[in-house]
Chains A and B, each alone.
Chain A
Amino acid sequence: DQQVKQNSPSLSVQEGRISILNCDYTNSMFDYFLWYKKYPAEGPTFLISISSIKDKNEDGRFTVFLNKSAKHLSLHIVPSQPGDSAVYFCAASTLISSGSARQLTFGSGTQLTVLP
């Protein structure tokens, strides 16, 4: 049972347009959400995050929106650039009760292709 779902395995967008990547989750204990970007043969790299007490976080061209009632978050990239082409993973985090470490639960990823 996947707790974090990315229902679109791929997305193609024209350069300069907006890319919108979506993510749904089921576990209401998640209190922190992150987006990671992954290029082939590399580990995921952190992109942007949002705490459950907020509904929007913006960093340059990247904005993450959180709708807690719908258990849905989205990543907007504007304007999209060819270098943004990568796999984007949504991840959700909850505090591990046994300590102060956190565990990430990943979605299955969305391959974004930005066409020049």
Chain B
Amino acid sequence: AAGVIQSPRHLIKEKRETATLKCYPIPRHDTVYWYQQGPGQDPQFLISFYEKMQSDKGSIPDRFSAQQFSDYHSELNMSSLELGDSALYFCASSSTDRANEKLFFGSGTQLSVL
């Protein structure tokens, strides 16, 4: 079965650079979530989209922005990268149509800021 696809798997950037992370949800899922997991920390909610509109915002820095496109894939744009942005970024998707409470996670993008 198709899963949540994230790209790239690994990304190395330098301070003050920009990065774009991509997420392709499970087909027919209409909701996408982004989570950030720092080393030794639990996943922290960043932002979510429902039907291409932002539905909720968590601890996402102003330097980050995200959007969901017409094909439901989502991109997380990160600018002026800082060392503290080094983390594993997970995307998850769900289908609200089926009242499905479960989130399905991708394998994550490991971002290293040098």
Contact = CB atoms under 8 A, between A and B. Distances in A.
A109 B38 CA distance: 13
A25 B43 CA distance: 16
By size class, the interface of chain B is 20 to 34
A22 interface: no
By size class, the interface of chain A is 20 to 34
Contacts of A103: 33, 45, 48, 56, 58
B105 interface: yes
B50 A101 contact: yes
Interface SS majority for chain B:
strand
B41 interface: yes
Which of A32, A98, A101 has most chain B Cβ within 10 Å?
Answer: A101
Contacts, number: 71
B108 interface: yes
B42 A108 contact: yes
Interface stretch (B70-78, B79-87, B95-103): B95-103
Interface string A88-116: 01000100101111111111110000000
B55 A99 contact: yes
Contacts of A99: 50, 53, 55-56
B102 A101 contact: no
A93 B31 CA distance: 15
A78 B52 CA distance: 42
